Amino acid sequence: MQDLTVTMIQQPLHWLDPDANCEQFGRLISTLNDTDLIILPEMFNTGFTMQPDSVAESGDGKTLEWLSQTSQQKNSAIVASLPYRKTGKQGIHYYNRLVFMHPDGQFQHYDKRHLFRMAQEHKHYQGGKTRLIVNYKGWRICPMVCYDLRFPVWSRNKNDYDLLVYIANWPAARSEHWRTLLKARAIENLSYVAGVNIIGTDGNNISYQGDSVVHGAAGEQLLFAGAMGGCFTTRLNYDALMDYRKRFPAYMDADQFIIK
């Protein structure tokens, strides 16, 4: 199995301005060479807004089109989330929707399950019910969103993924939680874990200090962005992961459970 080159992009966001954010991230992505997977923050195109009615897009929106075009141009998959609008028989519903865009223009999605009630997210968005596992270049990837990080049962590796990804707008006030929980998720799930956050101050005057990071399955830190903006790339070794799981197969003693 080939290794996987992963690039995290950590930036401040332009509040409620999808065009400016796509231009910003597009400029940074254009500088990348030969990366397999590009990871952008939660609601990368707007910031973490509780005003989905003003910025949410549907399946034919400009942000999805931009993700598709950019992924194809760079021949790299892209992970990101955006406020998403779905219209059905029961009216309009909004989702914090994560998109895994493949270089061929096809995409899969995951709707954030755990909605951050301290910001009233559960009053503005619908929660998802289904976990996503993406098969990409032979790697099994489980992407999740921000507050999901606090719920280890939902994140539990049932021997069905090799890389766990969290994209976030995680405030600086709880940065210690962010760093600690990401490392814990790697150790308990015997998996690579990548966490991508933002920096700067958003439209609600909430500060973010980044700390985007990649951990190996033993909890070792492979890459740490600190509070700097930019692109951060590392290479994940599949054989090393399989070797560690073989030497330390704690997953074989995991408790069985059902999520309802």
Q: Which residues are catalytic?
A: 42, 112, 146
For residues 151 and 253, give the distance between their C-alpha atoms in angstroms, rounded to a whole number: 20
Instruction: Of 54, 48, 57, give the one whose Cα is nearest residue 15.
Output: 48
What secondary structure letter does DSSP report for 57?
Answer: B
Nearest of 155, 83, 146, 77 to residue 118 by alpha carbon: 146
Q: Residue 121: left if φ>0, alpha if ψ -120 to 50, beta else—which one?
A: alpha
Residues 255, 233: Cα–Cα separation, whole Å: 35
User: Which residues, 6+ apart, have CB-to-CB distance to 239 below 8 Å?
Assistant: 1
Alpha-carbon distance of 148 to 83, in angstroms, equals 17
Q: What angle do CA 158, 181, 210 make, to 5 degrees?
A: 125
Strands 4-10, 37-39: pairing kind: parallel
137 neighbors 36 (Cβ within 8 angstroms): yes
What number of H helices and E strands is found in the chain?
A: 7, 14
- Rounded to whole angstroms, how far apart are CA atoms 103 and 114? 28
Pairwise CA distance, residues 199 & 193, whole Å: 20
